[in-house]
Amino acid sequence: MRMYESRRSETKDFEVGDKWLNIKVDPLIDNDGNLVGAVHIISDITEQRKASRALQDSENKFRLAFSCMQENA
């Protein structure tokens, strides 16, 4: 992340081992418009990623089953 150029809040997801982390970075700008620091918030989104993947897998299975039913009808 190159926040010093964008000067806006940015987020990124990273896989670290068996965990997924979301990192949010917010710039701290002084009254003269200079970047003087940043606030970093790191959240563990592993369970959210697992649930999203399970939903995708379920949707794909349903789509395949429905497709097969239509072909055999």
Grouping H, G, I as helix, E, B as strand and the rest as coil, residue 1 is coil
pTM above 0.75, yes or no: no
Parse the chain into domains and list their residue ranges. Answer: 3-72
For residues 33 and 71, what is the distance between their CA atoms, to the nearest angstrom? 63
- Using an 8 Å Cβ cutoff, are 35 and 28 in contact? yes
- Residue 45 clears pLDDT 80, i.e. is over it: yes
Longest dimension (CA), the chain: 70
For residues 42 and 23, what is the distance between their CA atoms, to the nearest angstrom? 5
Share of the chain above pLDDT 70, in %: 90
- Going by C-alpha positions, the residue among 43, 50, 44 that lies closest to residue 24 is 43
